[in-house]
């Protein structure tokens, strides 16, 4: 079969993407891939990536942030070199509890949580569930409110037959086509960046976990959970975001008690990878203005 796409060999994947400072830790039976850089006594920043991504999405930000902070990032269960959760449960509750288990395992009691897209949804759900642990919250195009055409109580992903197919057939050009809309300027999708996404989507068990997550996801009303958040919050969006529209920021701003909204022009969904320093400047200013 010409387009048959097997999983990348685990040893090869780790050789490419788990070089130092990468580490692995056993969290309740799950082998979690993470990086923990910067001064361990400095304020902690925890960075949660989006759907189909990995901890490497934060590479450019980490280089800067680790000069003043302890920077912790992980491959969330179901993605990257962490791979599938053995419970195969990708509900909001399960996502939050696995992050909490990870925090306990590495000894983090309080932190600033930064989340992008799906990781943003996990971040605000975590801040709602464990408000005493979250000092500041930074949400970058977070998932949570329905986008136009979605309805509460419905599954946002129409998986269909394509879901079964991508487990076995996932050509590189298909990954490229799915990533291009995440950029305002698609020329910023370099070969190196595309290769990383392509490789880590082929990491062992990842495609199966992605399919399970898509089939389990249901759009629910986030308002009551968001009302429980008391941490200073930054909402950061690209004005040209084709994945989660920047107008969704208004929904969050109406509910969150202490938030600031910044919408960047000529920017898409992957702010931390398209023009990382522009978005990072906003993040650093927010951190400086809300010190603890």
Whether 5 is covered by a domain: the verdict is no
Q: From its phi and psi, is residue 131 left (phi > 0), alpha (psi between -120 and 50) or beta?
A: alpha
Q: Does residue 265 fall inside a structural domain?
A: yes
At 135-168, the pLDDT tens digits run 999 999 999 998 777 777 677 676 555 667 778 8
| 1 in any annotated domain | no
Is 278 inside a domain boundary?
A: yes
pLDDT digits (tens, 9 = 90+) for 213-226: 998 988 899 999 99
Q: Is residue 237 part of a domain?
A: yes
Distance CA 44, CA 69 (A): 6
CA 248 to chain centroid, in Å, comes to: 17
Say if residue 16 is exposed, middle or buried (CB neighbours under 10 Å; 0-12, 13-18, 19+). middle
Please give the model's pTM, rounded to 2 decimal places: 0.96
Confirm whether 111 is domain-assigned: yes
For the beta sheet containing 111-116, the strands, ordered from the edge strand earlier in sequence to the opposite edge, are 22-27, 30-37, 70-74, 44-48, 111-116, 134-140, 233-238, 259-264
The pLDDT tens digits of the residues spanning 231-289 come to 999 999 999 999 999 999 999 999 999 999 999 999 999 999 999 999 999 999 999 99
Q: Does residue 252 contact residue 240 with C-beta atoms inside 8 Å?
A: no
Note whether residue 4 is domain-resident: no
Our count of domains for the chain comes to: 1
Cβ burial, residue 69 (10 Å; 0-12/13-18/19+):
buried
d(CA 205, CA 75) in angstroms, rounded, equals 13
> What CATH number did the domain enclosing 71 receive?
3.40.50.1820
Whether 292 is covered by a domain: the verdict is: no
Domain around 201 = 10-287
């Amino acid at each position: 079969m010409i387009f048959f796409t097997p999983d990348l060999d685990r040893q090869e994947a780790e050789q490419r993407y788990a070089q130092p400072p990468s580490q692995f830790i056993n969290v309740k039976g799950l082998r979690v891939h993470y990086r923990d850089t910067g001064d361990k006594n400095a304020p902690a920043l925890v960075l949660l990536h989006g759907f189909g991504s990995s901890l490497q999405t934060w590479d450019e930000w980490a280089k800067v942030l680790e000069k003043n902070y302890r920077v912790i990032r992980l491959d969330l269960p179901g993605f990257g070199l962490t791979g599938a959760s053995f419970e195969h449960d990708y509900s909001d509750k399960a996502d939050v509890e696995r992050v909490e288990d990870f925090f306990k395992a590495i000894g983090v009691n309080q932190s600033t949580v930064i989340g992008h897209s799906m990781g943003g949804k996990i971040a605000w759900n975590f801040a709602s569930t464990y408000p005493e642990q979250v000092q500041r919250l930074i949400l970058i195009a977070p998932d949570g409110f329905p986008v136009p055409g979605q309805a509460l109580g419905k599954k946002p992903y129409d998986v269909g037959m394509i879901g079964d197919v991508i487990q076995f057939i996932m050509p590189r050009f298909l990954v490229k086509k799915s990533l291009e809309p995440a950029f305002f300027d698609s020329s910023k999708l370099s070969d190196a960046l595309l290769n990383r996404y392509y490789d880590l989507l082929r990491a062992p068990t990842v495609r199966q976990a992605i399919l399970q997550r898509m089939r389990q996801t249901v759009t629910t009303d986030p308002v009551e959970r968001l009302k429980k958040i008391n941490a200073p919050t930054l909402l950061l969006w690209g004005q040209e975001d084709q994945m989660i529209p920047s107008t969704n920021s208004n929904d969050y701003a109406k509910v969150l008690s202490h938030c600031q909204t910044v919408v960047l022009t000529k920017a898409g969904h992957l702010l931390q990878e398209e023009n990382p320093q522009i978005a990072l400047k906003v993040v650093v200013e927010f951190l400086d203005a809300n010190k603890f």
